[in-house]
Amino acid sequence: MNIKNKPLWFNQFYPLLYKQFLLFKTNRIISAIRLLSPIISLLIYILIFVSLDKKANTVITPYSTESYPSESFPTGFKSPCCSYVIGYSFDQGLGRVHGNGKGIGGVVDSDHLNKLVLDGELIMQRVANSLDLTIGTDVVPVPLEFRTNQTDLVEKGGSNGVPTYFATLYFYRLNDSMIFYNLLYNGTSPRTNPLVTAISYHGENRMEIKAIAYATSIQIAIEREFLSVFAKQDVDLSVNSRKAPTILSWDKLQKTVQSKVTSEVVQSVKALVMIFVFLGQTFPTIVFLSTRVEETGSNMRAYLRTSGVYDEVYILVWLIDGMIGHLWNTLVIMVIGYTCPGLDFVYKCNPLILFSVLMVYGFTIYSFTLFFSSFISTLKSSVILSVLSFTLGLFSVLVFCLFSIASPILYMPGFRIVGIVTTILPFTNIAKVLGDIQLITAPMPFWYGLFDTGLKYHQENFTARTFFHWEYDGDFSDYPTCFESICFMLLSGLVSLFLCWYLDKVVEGAHGGKQSPLFLFDKKYWKPSTKEYDLENISSLRGTVADSHQDPDIVQEATNVNLDNIKNYALVIRNLVKSYNGKTPAVDGLNLSSEKGKILCLLGPNGSGKTTTINCLTQQTTPNLGYALVCGYNAHTQSQCTSKIIGYTPQFDVHWPHLSARQHLAIMYLIKRTNPLLAIDDEVESILKDIRLTSVADNPVCTYSGGMARRLSVGLALIGNPKIIILDEPTTGIDSSNRQYIWRLIKSMKSDRLILLTTHSMEEAENADKIAIMQTGKLIAVGTPIHLKTRYSKGYTLKLVTKDPVTVGNMVNSSTFNPTLTEEKVSNSTHTTPDIELIYSIENMDTVSNLLQYLFEHPDSTQIQEWSLDGTKILDVYLKLIPKHQK
Ligand SMILES: Nc1ncnc2c1ncn2[C@@H]1O[C@H](COP(=O)(O)OP(=O)(O)OP(=O)(O)O)[C@@H](O)[C@H]1O
């Protein structure tokens, strides 16, 4: 993991990208959603499309694929009865040409004045001959009166005493050059014929097939005779096998109708393709937002800023993370589009243009997401915002894609505001662009006919020309081209990225300190001083103490630093004031300082301003007044310098739950790396050992106990050899043995650096070199533990245990030392004569030793069963000071 010395920005890019990679690798569900969203979304579409498309394209033919043999009348076929009579009739109009209704017509070739006359009687004679039928019995003219109802003639004629015909033939003259004949045959008649019923076709008793075969024989005979007459010679008309028509069954008919309806639905489904593209492209941003909010909400953002991470690098790395995911997403869409059915728009679109459109959308949507995530700190609000935006986007895509032909209306003068909003918001803008692409590339759904906006949409492919240029029939010159829409989209992405960065600096929130809204015009912002002890911009090294405040320690603390000794001080806080939202100051005119090589402990009840003081030093908040110098650098104006020399453990643990302790330490090492040649593995290993986490170094932090997580937080503060280590309640939640160990560690580290810590454990505070007690934002006592004990001491406490308190009391009173009896209480009441504790307060050690000598030389000293002596503790000092100030 060693990397060579690189410019600072790269130092930060690398570990932050590495962190994003680890988050991606370890957060499997989120990563799977991000990777699979486009695939799942498009697969759902393709499944719907393919199943509908299959139905729509099912070829339902009314013709069987079976091939029937042509059949002539079977040998020996003879009409057994009148049922097989073939009736014929000729059109009267034509017939008159030849006279007496016996002719079938004639054609007059007006150019050559050749008159062709067809003799119907002759043709029927030849037909009868070729079929081996007899004129007069098998082939007869149809009586005129039946001609009006031909079906009855073949089906029912027999019941009326009229001969039932097997077939009837009608000849018509359509025009001067065409003769039409109509052959009606009786499909059921052959059943009664033993000759016919004996024949089955492919195992089926399909009489109608045989009937067709006979009818076909008649047809062939007629047409052969016609041709022979026209050709004026005999024609041998051979007939080949061919597909014969079968009767269309009802369910097939239904399917045919359904398939037509389905084709319409498929058209509509194609109009929905962009919704699935939108879903695939936009859904990952929801999980992206939740990951980011998880990090910012857990104060990690503030922690990284404290560790010196540049805002610009931090935002860019998140953007790169989003864009890499989006690139994958876009490639997936294009590959699926080129390889699977139903996404015609992909290959109909100029690939470079499609790629650019989708990537610009990605840039904008992720910039928007980053912008919004600056305001959101909880997962719940991120979900609400995501669902709202997503729904708005989905609705827009639905409207724009189903009615893309009508979208120019939104940009007409009356609706301009809608057009402007549509253009500004990335969801709606992409909906418009996708709608435009759809309009050009997809088949028109039937409802497009309802609108005529003048937009030309007849192109097949979405080319570069279409991208840059729209054609209009009407007054829609305000309708932006796709190029214009994409430019607006890019612009809104850039603006939201800038706002994300700007507001992050200007608005004081959970993420960090507040800059002046005009900070961009401040020269110092662009060229911050990196000079150590640059005191020109500091009003005075002397702190201001209220005239009413006569406490010598506090006055001394405000005035101890001067130009000569300032370099001895690792920390100088002067007149620090911080008030949140204009309320009572959380820190109120604090003056505090400490040399290197010390442990400075801040004590105070809850809400006394300890953490706020630390926040001012670690750029998590900006003081309203005053300043803090950390190793000679101004914590507020030279934060990039101070962040390199501060190691910080926040009050509440901030970790990436899925990363291990080793990964945390490695990332923080790379961020804070001051010596690039130092081996990272050695440093990480050494800190893991120091905080006793070697055995679980590779487990995710979410599996750690509270104490282990706390130790990791302390370890993170030690990374990079900081000159000042700030620990906000470092031992909270750590068991006694590890607590002692951590304290040993803290003490071992103080040699060449300052350790500033807060604690609520007075026992731990005893280890400090200097203690500052705060109350309601003000310093109320300061000094070394011994100094404080001496100053605020109640002296020593002598406890005497006896069964005869009167005798012992008299014995003490008989001395000349006059100790004060502070308490008398029963210590053990189980015996018949209870033990009584007499507690005396004595001011100094000399008096204690003289009194003890007096008592143990006294004859009644045997009455003292037990005794103990306690010195003053920091707890006593604290309890003495705090109630006093609370009053
Ligand atoms: N971000 C904030 N916004 C508004 N008020 C705040 C904020 N942070 C702290 N305060 C207020 O400032 C005061 C000092 O709080 P601070 O956290 O500095 O105290 P503390 O001494 O560290 O307390 P504790 O021992 O409980 O950690 C409190 O009244 C607190 O309510």
pTM: 0.69
Contact 186, 167 (CB under 8 A): yes
Q: Please report the pLDDT score of residue 568 as a whole number.
A: 87
What confidence tens digit (pLDDT) does each residue in 435-483 have?
Answer: 888 888 877 666 665 555 555 555 578 888 888 887 655 556 678 889 9
Q: What local confidence, expressed as pLDDT, does residue 725 receive?
A: 93
pLDDT tens digit sequence for 293-310: 888 777 888 888 888 888
Cα separation of 626 and 618, whole Å?
15
69 lines ligand 1 (CB under 6 A): no
Indicate whether 682 pLDDT > 60: yes
Task: Kindly give the distance from the C-alpha atom of residue 609 to the centroid of ligand 1, in angstroms, as a whole number.
Answer: 6
CA-611 nearest atom, ligand 1: 22
Contacts of 287 (CB under 8 A, 6+ apart): 30, 33, 34
Report residue 513's pLDDT band, with 50, 70 and 90 as the boundaries: low
Q: Which atom of ligand 1 is nearest to the CA of 615?
A: 18
User: Does the pLDDT at position 27 exceed 70?
Assistant: yes
pLDDT of residue 32: 92
Q: Is 586 in the pocket of ligand 1 (CB under 6 A)?
A: yes
Predicted confidence (pLDDT) at residue 877 exceeds the cutoff of 90: no
- Give how far Cα 155 sits from Cα of 169, 172, 184, 317, 321, Å: 14, 22, 10, 87, 82
- pLDDT above 50: residue 599: yes
pLDDT of 206 > 50? The answer is no
The secondary structure of 761-829, three-state, reads: CHHHHCCCCEEEEEECCEEEEEECHHHHHHHHCCCEEEEEEECCHHHHHHHHHCCCCCCEEEEEEEEEC
Given this model, what pLDDT does residue 205 score?
Answer: 41
Residue with the larger pLDDT of the pair 545 and 279: 279
Position 83 scores a pLDDT of: 45
Whole-angstrom distance, CA of residue 379 vs CA of residue 580: 25
CA of 882 from ligand 1 middle (Å) equals 17
Instruction: Calculate mean pLDDT across residues 202-211.
Output: 46
* Contact 612 CB / ligand 1 (< 6 Å): yes
As a whole number, mean pLDDT of residues 536-561 equals 79
- Asked if residue 543 lies in contact with residue 557, where contact means CB atoms within 8 angstroms, the answer is yes
| Alpha carbon nearest to ligand 1 atom 24, residue | 606
Token pair 């009407």: residue: 474
Q: Is the pLDDT of residue 712 over 90?
A: yes
Residue nearest to atom 7 of ligand 1 (CA): 580
Q: Does the C-beta of 580 come closer than 6 Å to ligand 1?
A: yes
CA–CA separation, 495 vs 515, rounded Å? 19
Structural domains in the chain, CATH included, are 19-50+264-504 (no CATH), 68-247 (no CATH), 528-788 (3.40.50.300), 794-871 (3.30.70.260)
Query: Is the CB of 407 within 6 Å of ligand 1?
Result: no
Q: Does the pLDDT value for residue 118 go beyond 70?
A: no
Average pLDDT score over the chain: 77
Q: Which atom of ligand 1 is nearest to the CA of 581?
A: 4
Q: Are 652 and 658 in contact (CB under 8 A)?
A: no
Please indicate whether residue 230, judged by its CB atom, sits closer than 6 Å to ligand 1: no
State whether the beta carbon of 291 lies less than 6 angstroms from ligand 1.
no
Which tokens sit at 393? 């986007």
Cα 719 → chain centroid: 34
Q: Is the CB of 611 under 6 A from ligand 1?
A: yes
The CA–CA distances, whole Å, from 603 to 230, 558, 610, 725, 759 equal: 125, 18, 7, 17, 6
| pLDDT higher than threshold 60 for residue 358 | yes
The per-residue pLDDT for range 80-103, each reduced to its tens digit, is 333 456 767 665 433 333 333 333
What is the pLDDT averaged over residues 493-516?
Answer: 78
Per-residue pLDDT, averaged over 586-603, amounts to 91
Distance 587 CA to ligand 1 centre (A): 9
More confident residue, 532 or 499: 499
Q: What is the pLDDT of residue 412?
A: 76
